[in-house]
Amino acid sequence: MRKIAKDVSIGRESLYKATINAVLHALDVKIAIVQADTGRKRRHRKRLKYCCFVE
């Protein structure tokens, strides 16, 4: 992946993201990341919990 990313002049992370997006699109899968409802008031951003839903 590093060589391919270098050959096409994009970052490796961007190449991984594009690859994952292409696969998900081909499978007709949607992913949404939303904040989990913990029932408590938010005090610190670092303590947020997230859930991932796949449709």
Q: Mark 2-22 as b/e (b = at least 16 C-beta within 10 Å).
A: eeebeeeeeeeeebeeeeeee
Count CB neighbours of 39 within 10 A.
5
**Residue range 3-13: mean pLDDT, rounded:** 87
Q: What are the phi and psi torsion angles at 45 (to 5°)?
A: -60, -30
Span 25-46, pLDDT tens digits: 899 988 877 776 666 665 655 5
pLDDT at 1: 79
> Bridge partners of 34?
51
For the chain, the structural domain boundaries read 2-54
22 pLDDT band, cuts 50/70/90, is: very high
Tell me how far apart the alpha carbons of residues 38 and 55 are, in angstroms, rounded to a whole number: 22
Task: Please tell me which of 16-25, 29-38, 43-52 the model is most confident about, judged by mean pLDDT.
Answer: 16-25
Is the pTM higher than 0.75? The answer reads no
